[in-house]
Structure 1
Amino acid sequence: MRALTRRLEKSHGEHHPKEQLPIIDELVATVLSQATSDVNSGRAFAGLKARFSSWEEVLHAPTPEVADAIRSGGIADVKARRIQEILTVIEEREHMLDLSRLHDLSDEEVYHYLCSLPGVGPKTSACVLLFSMGRDAFPVDTHVHRVAIRLGLIGPKVSAQAAHSMLGRRVPPELRYPFHMGLIRHGRTVCRPRVPLCSECALFDLCDSGPDLLASGKAR
């Protein structure tokens, strides 16, 4: 893992932890990041914060208004409903829109709490744990999942959901953030879903799939 991380950093640059957001902010930001680019999800989150001064306002606003505020992030109507559903459950449980008490819970307790919210799965929960709380989680998105399979870190039939716990156990805590970010960048630019650029890959000699992909003509 250390060799892979070093090569990813040399190829794509180092990744320094971003500013930690409050838990609900990171939760909503992760929902907005689904099925869109980082740029568009960032614009959607900024639009939401500019339109509404609190999460209470977001919760009680008409859903079309919330959707309008996040339109740049794509599938805005679906995401607006999901955000309000999440906020509704949090308010019912906590009697306020604040999840700071989760900092006092274990990683496992936080993970199960977040996964019990509407539409929140392992990836979103892991993102909140890692990015907002600084915990030792390892989020697995489509890029991380694909690259991990090709490298042979997990088997070809391992689901993304199962990969969270499998990779979380294998990746040392201090490498989880840089390795996660490096795999995402690598998956977007080199180890692409179609026609990966194996001849340009800094991990080629460590990869289980690269030689076969090149030999079959499925990679460049």
Structure 2
Amino acid sequence: MNNMLAERIKEFLNRLVTDHGSIDLEWLRDVQPDKAKDFLLSIRGLGLKSVECVRLLTLHHMAFPVDTNVGRICVRLGWVPLQPLPESLQLHLLEMYPMLEHIQKYLWPRLCKLDQRTLYELHYQMITFGKVFCTKSKPNCNSCPMRAECKHFASAFASARLALPAPEEKCLVTLEDPNVVEFSHQTYINSGSVGQLEWSANYPKHAVSGNHQPIIEEPLSPECETENIEAHEGAIEDFFCEESDEIPTINLNIEEFTQNLKDYMQANNVEIEYADMSKALVAITPDAASIPTPKLKNVNRLRTEHQVYELPDSHPLLEGFEQREPDDPCPYLLSIWTPGETAQSIDAPKTFCDSGETGRLCGSSICFSCNNIREMQAQKVRGTLLIPCRTAMRGSFPLNGTYFQVNEVFADHCSSQNPIDVPRSWIWDLPRRTVYFGTSVPTIFRGLTTEEIQRCFWRGFVCVRGFDRTVRAPRPLYARLHFPVSKVVRGKKPGAARAEE
């Protein structure tokens, strides 16, 4: 792929010099939009989506790029109609969607009357929506605010409703025979032995009643977990709290969802196998309007939560840093290190001495107790600066809020490795915010509820990479900010695995 792209780039640059005398595309700003589009499409290697991105984000033309996120959302929500699906194939089981160019040609006549700013916002908001909720695999449907109008969710919900009941709804026999003895997870004490035996409802009745009638058993369906997984790692300041009243809520339109589900089942000839199906559609509640999802493994390592300080633009810590972009929605932030914490540490610092009894500080650089006392005496703390993504990239393409989150920040690479000393008096009155650190945006938001995702967008931030200000290039996060589960060696503690490296 790299050889192919390099060949196409060289070919295009040679063409520019031959036709225009220099490597310059600024003249496209003065050309009519249709002619600019035709010229960009004539470049070998550029497709319709890439051309529309250049026109919308750089040339500020009336355009709407349809990437894989936008196309997937439009099909799942039903904005783009599909031909009748093959028999027994449901919408939520589709792996392939129509070509993006076909979706773009279908949408554009319906969007062309919108102004450029609205098209731009719709574009990057749909990309964000596709990364947070409507991911390609295992979308977070139960937390999605659009599920009431979503054909994909209606398909998955109908499929789940028509599946076998959960194990707890099954029973072995109908307990109408008076000879049947019931045991409900009670302890039966055997007088002839010393130990205790555990009995449950699915223990063979002939073993205790003497009635040797055959047992009627029904097959169990696969176990499913329907609980929303909540995982939070230790925060820097445990006393931090926020006012929940400031966060707006999104309510699920139950009536719209019920009608949408009925329409989907009728359009796809879904047979209703249970008598209570029609009643369930009418009497459905928000708590019941969810799809059973498997329990997430290692969910506590998907994201690492830190409490940070919000820095004003005039703060002395920002001296030498680039001025924040005027339209950047994110401020500079400061993440405080725990005393004794190192750049590659993933566990909380521990106390390695008896300074509490002797009154003398030890010489260990990773002792939590002694380092905390030293920082208190010096009235200083250590910190890492977090840079707003648009400011870091100077607001240039493709950073115009499109391929990064609107609330995304980068961890300064230098202060992530060597923290800066911050006087405590500089941060006493600063507001505090929450930052979720992780390997990617989809994994950070996986398993979170709608309210938790709302809180992150309204009062918090996300960070998935570091940023080297010297070479202006991305860098991986240090372990103290987030240590991904993929790097944990099975059967060994993370600290031991890293020590071997």
Q: Distance in 2 between matches of 1:130 and 1:181?
A: 11
Conserved 8 A contact 1:107-1:135: yes
C-alpha displacement at 1:219, in angstroms? Answer: 7.8
Q: Which residue is equivalent to 2:5? A: 79
Amino acid in the other structure paired with 1:193: K
CA offsets per residue over residues 106-144 of structure 1, 9 Å max, x none? 222111110000111101110110111111111111111
Q: Which residue is equivalent to 1:148? A: 74
Q: 1:103 to 1:211 in 2, by over 3 A?
A: same
Amino acid in the other structure paired with 1:123: K
Q: 1:140 to 1:219 in 2, by over 3 A?
A: farther
Does residue 118 (structure 1) correspond to residue 44 (structure 2)? The answer is: yes
SS of the residue 1:120 aligns to: coil
Corresponding residue to 1:204 among 123, 147, 150: 147
CA offsets per residue over residues 49-104 of structure 1, 9 Å max, x none? xxxxxxxxxxxxxxxxxxxxxxxxxx433332222222122222222111222112
Q: 1:219 to 1:97 in 2, by over 3 A?
A: farther
Name the larger-Rg structure.
Answer: 2
Q: Distance in 2 between matches of 1:214 and 1:82?
A: 46
Amino acid in the other structure paired with 2:20: E
Considering fraction of residues, name the structure with more helix: 1
Q: Distance in 2 between matches of 1:84 and 1:214?
A: 51
Q: Percent identity?
A: 28
SS of the residue 2:126 aligns to: helix
Q: Distance in 1 between matches of 2:55 and 2:292?
A: 35
Q: Distance in 2 between matches of 1:152 and 1:219?
A: 22
Q: Which residue is equivalent to 1:51? A: none
Amino acid in the other structure paired with 1:195: K
Q: Which residue is equivalent to 1:213? A: 156
Q: Distance in 1 between matches of 2:74 and 2:292?
A: 17
Does residue 96 (structure 1) correspond to residue 22 (structure 2)? The answer is: yes
Conserved 8 A contact 1:195-1:219: no
Q: 1:113 to 1:199 in 2, by over 3 A?
A: same
Tell me: higher relative CO, structure 1 or 2? Use CA pairs within 8 A at least 6 residues apart: 1
Normalising by structure 1, what TM-score?
A: 0.60
SS of the residue 1:130 aligns to: helix
Corresponding residue to 2:65 among 102, 127, 139: 139
Conserved 8 A contact 1:123-1:139: yes
CA offsets per residue over residues 158-196 of structure 1, 9 Å max, x none? 421122233233232332111111111111221111222
SS of the residue 1:209 aligns to: helix
Q: Distance in 1 between matches of 2:64 and 2:130?
A: 16
Q: 1:165 to 1:93 in 2, by over 3 A?
A: farther
C-alpha displacement at 1:197, in angstroms? Answer: 1.5
Q: Which consecutive residues of structure 1, in runs of 5 or more, have no partner in the other structure?
A: 1-74
Q: Which residue is equivalent to 2:124? A: 181
SS of the residue 1:216 aligns to: helix
CA RMSD of aligned residues (A): 2.1
Q: Distance in 1 between matches of 2:30 and 2:103?
A: 26
Q: 1:196 to 1:90 in 2, by over 3 A?
A: same
Q: Which residue is equivalent to 1:69? A: none
Q: Distance in 2 between matches of 1:142 and 1:200?
A: 21
Amino acid in the other structure paired with 2:128: R
Q: Which residue is equivalent to 2:106? A: 166
Q: 1:190 to 1:128 in 2, by over 3 A?
A: same
Amino acid in the other structure paired with 1:83: I
Q: Distance in 2 between matches of 1:122 and 1:169?
A: 16
Q: 1:176 to 1:219 in 2, by over 3 A?
A: farther
SS of the residue 2:12 aligns to: helix
Q: Distance in 1 between matches of 2:19 and 2:81?
A: 39
Normalising by structure 2, what TM-score?
A: 0.28
Q: 1:79 to 1:169 in 2, by over 3 A?
A: same
Does residue 190 (structure 1) correspond to residue 116 (structure 2)? The answer is: no
The number of aligned residues is 146
Amino acid in the other structure paired with 1:192: T
Amino acid in the other structure paired with 1:108: D
